[in-house]
Copies of this chain bind each other. A is one copy, B any other.
């Protein structure tokens, strides 16, 4: 049974249990372009109490560095090391989990976030926003596609510049079972521009369908991402709490990782959703919004 935090005592007891707080961003800190109430104050209160903050996002189109600008826009100060995006997750996974060979390259289907994180990690890559891949899939282009043995992995994320040539080229690499297949995340849609637009899962799906292979997904709720976070931050899961607005990604992610969970009602899922018999996750705590912690504890 999830406990709703509505009193100062409950809020204090909740705080005392955890040293590390992992946050989903959209629906928790902000909603689209709108900052949610008392978010900066709550984050400051956590910092003042010596808590460590980690911001976890499936957005792979921006690097951690670029993502700090989004926080700045809302007047929230964070440093790059507090952000854990799926592009960075992919770089950590390649470096620390699979120990990607130094003589191989990663073929990237995606945006600059992936380029920047791989470059920073010293992992050679090709593809992504390179203009040579922005190519019409005519006979010449399709004839030119061959298996490139220097490619050891295909890493696919949301790509606003997807085209048939890129899909075909990545497929030919994946037809070799020695090529790793990684996905930043497999969200089918994401909210943007006031609507639900095709998510990374849509782009990844083109390679899944054509290759008949399943990728290792490096975003929530995949535990591969949790493994990367644990490898990076070294924390005790029982003293960490995942905060999020979605049961099937954030709350499952925290639960399966052995963390405490705080579900907030300021995003996608509702209070009813956690009361269903077949709910995909049963959060330990929930609250109307993250800012309630500050409102309850400020005096």
A residues whose Cβ falls under 8 Å from a Cβ of B = 136-139, 142-143, 145, 159-164, 167-168, 171-172, 175, 188-189, 192-193, 195-199, 201-203, 205-206, 208-210, 212
Main secondary structure of the interface of A (DSSP, over half): mixed
Contact residue among B164, B193, B197, B203 (Cβ-Cβ distance under 8 Å from A171): B197
Q: CA separation between A160 and B212, bound complex, in Å? A: 20
Contact A137 B160 (CB under 8 A): yes
Contact B192 A210 (CB under 8 A): no
Q: CA separation between A206 and B188, bound complex, in Å? A: 9
Contacts of A197 in B (CB 8 A): 142, 168, 171
Q: How far is the CB of A191 from chain B (nearest CB, A)?
A: 12
Looking at A175, A205, A209, the one whose CB has the most chain B CB atoms below 10 A away is A209
Contacts of A143 in B (CB 8 A): 193
Contacts of A167 in B (CB 8 A): 162, 198, 202
Which residue on chain B has the smallest CB distance to residue A165? B160
Which residue on chain B has the smallest CB distance to residue A175? B196
Contact B136 A198 (CB under 8 A): no
Q: CA separation between A122 and B42, bound complex, in Å? A: 62
Between-chain CB contacts (< 8 Å), 11 pairs: A136-B160, A145-B193, A159-B164, A162-B167, A167-B202, A172-B195, A188-B209, A188-B212, A196-B210, A205-B206, A205-B209
